[in-house]
Structures are given as C-alpha cells and as structure tokens.
C-alpha cells in the first residue's frame, strides 16, 4: 500500500487535523481500555478468590462439627487445605474463643496471627491486612465450645496474574499507538479526497476552461452530494458563459451587417460624383440602416436589463385588456396599410400583476411579428380571457405562413430567425430579439409564454400572467371588437 505524502502545509490542513484528532481519541480509548481491563480483571480475580476462601472456611466449620472433639483431626484437615494451595500462598489458623492459637500454618503472617478476635468474628468476614486477604469466622463445637477459624492468602498472586495480563496487553497498546497515526492519516486522506478534488478542479477553472467536473463516487454521502452540487453549479456557469459568448458573437454579427452596408454605400457615394437624387437615395439607405442599428441597440439594452429579473419590474395591478386595446389601436394603421385585418376580442378584463409599460411592449412585439409575417388579406387576432385559476391569458394569433416544426424550440432564442431570407427585405427587418425580450419580461412577471405554429396555417402565441393577489376579481364583462380591414373590411 502506498502511503500518501504529508501535505506541505503541515498541521493547517484538514487531513492533518483529522489525523491528530483520530490519534488522540484512539490513544485515550486505549489507555481507558487498559485501565478498565486491569481493574476489571483484579476485581474478578478478587471475587473468585473470596468465593473460594468462603467455601474453604465453611468446609472447616463442617469438619469441626463432624470431628469434634478430635482437635488433631481438625488440625490435620486444615493442614491439608493449606498444603494443597501452598503455591498460591494460602495460610490457615485455628484459635480458641479466647484468642489463643491452637494451630497455624507456616505461611500465616504475624500481622494476621497476632490480630485478636473481635465480636465481628461471629459472622463471616473478609479482611484485608496489608498484602494479605483472609476470611474469619467464629464456630461453636457440639458442646458450645467456641473456635475461630482464619483462612487466607497473599494478594501477591493476584498482582502477578494482573501483571502477566498487562504484559500481554501493553504491547498491543503500543502497537496501536504506533499504527494509529498512519492509519488515521490514510483514512483522513480517503475521507478528504473529494475535497482535494474540489480544490484541484477549482484551481484549474478558467473562463476558457469550464469543462472540468468533479468525480462522483456514487457513495451518496455528504461529499458526494457536494460534488454533485458543485457540478451543477459548474454546468450553470458554463452554460451562462457559453450563452454570453454566443450572445456577443450574434450581436456582433447583427451589428456588422448594417455597418458594412452603410460603409459600402457611403464609399460608393464618395467615389464619384452623383446627382442630388442619387445622394438622397444613398442617404435614405444609410438612414434605414441607422434605424435598424438603433432598434438592435435598444433591444440589446432591454435584454441587458432582463438579466436581473428580480429587480426588473415593479409589479402592480394591470388591466390586461386595456393594455391590449391600446397596443391594438397603435398598430391599427400599420395593419390597414398592409391590408391585414386586426381584431381584439375581450371576454373579460382580468387584473394581473405586472408592469403596464412592459406589457405594452410585449404585446407590441407580438403584434409586430404577427403583422410582418402575415400576407395581405390575412388576419391577426388578439384575445384576452382568464384561465381556470383566475390568471390572465393573452393570445395573439395569425393565419400567416407559420413556423417549421424544427424551428419551434428555438423561436425564443436571441437573434434566431426562422426564415432569415424573409427578414432582409425592407420593412421586414428584425434583429431576432423580439420574442426573447417578450419571454424575459413575461418570466420576470412570474408568467409564462408559449408558441404553437402550423406551416402555411398560422402561429399562435399565448401569454399567461398571474392574477393580482390583492385584487383577485374581474371587471364587468364586456365584449369589444376592434376591426381594421384594408379596403373597407371583409
């Protein structure tokens, strides 16, 4: 196994701190376990020794009862008990009721042998005197003659057992102390590897290099979720940068055409003498190109404003039908000039939340598109209704040439033109920003805009806007039709 190198930043790194914390915790736990084992083992051995001593004292008491008055036989029994456990340092002592020693084993310590009997000896007691532990008990013979029996052992045997056990466990603790920092550092590296990947990826990121992504291990842990979240953020940033670059490229392309036309027209005009009418025609061409440039510049400014939709509009109650009526009236002359029937149908007048000026501009852009791509004799209809939730619905429909199915997904893209050839002719110039502006304004008002079209049959754009929450009502219903039909109507 290859161990990762220690980070040059030393103890300031997360993995180093995790290693220190892990090592400290393991060392403390190891010490606590060793101490618990030591004291627990000693307590267990002591309880076992006490049980054996109690059992032996009871056996001697039975022997006195059975062998009395043969004291020699009782002493022989006690000698046998002491000899059988001599390797553990056992000792025995038999005393009279007055405290005189009848017999004691060779290993009986002086501090125990000279300790006089007390009233407490009438019951079974365990006594610890220095390094010795013994059980004492008062016993009466069949003739009620009192005796005192003491049976004990040196606790050095217990200490030796505990020491032997600790000699086995301490090397294990030392090995853990040595291996814990290494294992802890390896675990810290494995745990923080996604964080290190995040740092490396962040350090590599450049405006020209936004394709790098973090590795997702599939463990579904917090670091995996963090990697997915950052990847989504990088996707959004990359998409935003790509859209901005495309926007700049498209804007430059759209601006370059009129500028090149103006330059070539003026260069031709100054290259040789011309009549007044020719100069006037040249100036009109330049003026037309300048107007087109001005429209593109204004649309670009509007799109720049819509980049912050939350601060774009001051929402207010707006009578949608009245705004639509004003917009239709403004385009009535253009519709009549082009021989197109322009109708406004309002079933109710919903009150929606939005900005009156922006809504007027949205309807104006939709009408401008509809009129430009509807042939003479065609019809454009604006209809205002309410949806099932009380929201306002505005629909602009025409019976023009429509849009090809493969272009429907891109109609709201900036500078997109479904049929560029149709928009080059005079009177049909467009920068391809109208629908993009409409979508930005509608979505900034928390509404939605959709488009449906059938080639050679027409196009319908539907705008849905939220009702004004503080005035969720409709004005008195009225039906009005504004009809402007070329050549006296139809």
- Assigned token pair, 379: 């019809």
Domain map of the chain by residue range? 1-201, 222-304, 312-488
Domain boundaries 222-304, corresponding CATH code = 1.10.287.130
pLDDT at 412: 75
pLDDT at 414: 65
Q: How many Å apart are CA 27 and CA 174, to the nearest integer?
A: 9
What φ, ψ does residue 148 adopt, rounded to 5°? -125, 130
Given a contact cutoff of 8 angstroms between Cβ atoms, the answer to whether 95 and 117 are in contact is: yes
Q: How many Å apart are CA 253 and CA 227, to the nearest integer?
A: 38
Task: Tell whether the torsion through CA atoms of 183, 189, 190 and 192 is positive or negative.
Answer: positive
pLDDT at 398: 92
- Estimate to the nearest angstrom the gap between the alpha carbon of 336 and the chain centroid: 59
pLDDT at 462: 92
Strands (E), 387-478: 392-398, 448-454, 458-465
Give the pTM: 0.46
- Assigned token pair, 114: 């000279």
Kindly calculate the radius of gyration of the chain based on its CA atoms and give it in whole angstroms: 51
Topology of domain 1-201 in CATH is Beta-Lactamase (3.30.450)
DSSP one-letter code for 461: E
pLDDT at 11: 56
What φ, ψ does residue 241 adopt, rounded to 5°? -65, -40
Given a contact cutoff of 8 angstroms between Cβ atoms, the answer to whether 135 and 152 are in contact is: yes
- Tens-digit pLDDT profile for the chain (490 aa)? 444 444 444 556 777 777 788 788 888 888 888 888 888 888 888 888 888 888 888 888 888 888 878 888 888 888 888 888 777 788 888 888 778 888 888 888 888 888 777 665 566 678 888 888 888 888 877 777 888 888 888 888 788 888 888 888 888 888 877 888 888 778 777 777 777 777 777 777 676 677 777 677 677 777 778 778 878 888 888 877 776 776 677 667 667 767 777 777 787 777 777 778 877 888 887 887 787 677 667 766 666 665 554 444 567 888 888 899 988 888 888 888 889 999 998 877 788 888 888 888 888 888 888 888 899 999 999 999 988 877 889 999 999 888 888 877 777 776 666 554 444 443 444 456 778 778 877 887 888 889 988 888 889 999 998 888 643 443 333 333 344 443 333 3
Q: How many Å apart are CA 114 and CA 222, to the nearest integer?
A: 72
CATH says 312-488 is which class?
A: alpha beta
pLDDT at 488: 33
pLDDT at 474: 38
């Amino acid at each position: 196994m290859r161990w990762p190198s220690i980070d040059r930043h030393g103890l300031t790194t997360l993995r180093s701190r995790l290693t220190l914390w892990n090592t400290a915790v393991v060392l403390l736990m190891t010490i606590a376990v060793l101490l618990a084992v030591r004291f627990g083992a000693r307590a267990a051995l002591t309880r076992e020794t006490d049980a054996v001593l109690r059992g032996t004292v009871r056996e001697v008491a039975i022997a006195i009862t059975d062998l009395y008055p043969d004291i020699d036989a009782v002493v022989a029994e006690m000698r046998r008990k002491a000899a059988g456990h001599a390797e553990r340092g056992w000792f025995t002592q038999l005393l009279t009721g007055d405290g005189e020693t009848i017999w004691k084993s060779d290993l009986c310590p002086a501090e125990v042998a000279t300790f006089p009997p007390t009233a407490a000896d009438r019951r079974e007691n365990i006594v610890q005197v220095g390094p010795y532990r013994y059980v004492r008990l008062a016993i009466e013979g069949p003739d009620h003659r009192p005796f005192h029996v003491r049976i004990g052992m040196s606790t050095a045997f217990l200490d030796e057992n505990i020491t032997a056990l600790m000699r086995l466990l301490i090397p294990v603790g030392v090995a853990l102390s040595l291996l814990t920092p290494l294992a802890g550092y390896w675990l810290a590296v494995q745990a923080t590897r996604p964080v290190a990947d995040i740092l490396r990826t962040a350090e590599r990121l450049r405006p020209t290099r936004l394709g790098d992504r973090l590795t997702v291990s599939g463990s579904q842990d917090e670091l995996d979720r963090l990697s997915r979240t950052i990847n989504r953020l990088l996707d959004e940033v990359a998409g935003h940068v790509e859209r901005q670059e495309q926007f700049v490229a498209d804007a430059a392309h759209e601006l370059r055409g009129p500028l090149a036309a103006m330059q070539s027209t003026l260069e031709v005009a100054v290259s040789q003498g011309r009549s007044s009418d020719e100069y006037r025609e040249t100036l009109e061409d330049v003026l037309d190109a300048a107007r087109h440039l001005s429209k593109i510049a204004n649309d670009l400014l509007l799109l720049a404003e819509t980049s912050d939709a939350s601060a774009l509009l001051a929402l207010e109650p707006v009578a949608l039908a009245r705004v639509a009526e004003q917009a239709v009236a403004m385009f009535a002359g253009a519709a009549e000039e082009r021989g197109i029937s322009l109708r406004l149908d309002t079933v109710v007048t919903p009150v929606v939340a939005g900005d009156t000026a922006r809504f007027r501009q949205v309807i104006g852009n939709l009408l401008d598109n509809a009129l430009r791509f509807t042939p003479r004799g065609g019809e454009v209809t604006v209809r205002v209704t309410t949806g099932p939730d009380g929201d306002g619905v505005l629909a602009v429909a025409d019976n023009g040439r429509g849009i090809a199915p493969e272009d429907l997904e891109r109609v709201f893209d900036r500078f997109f033109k479904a049929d560029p050839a149709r928009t080059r002719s005079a009177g049909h110039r467009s920068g391809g920003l109208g629908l993009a502006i409409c979508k930005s304004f509608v979505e900034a008002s928390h509404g939605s805009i959709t488009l449906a079209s059938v080639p050679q049959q027409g196009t319908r754009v539907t705008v849905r806007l939220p009702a004004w929450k503080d005035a969720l009502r409709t004005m008195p219903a009225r039906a009005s039709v504004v009809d402007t039909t070329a050549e006296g109507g139809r």
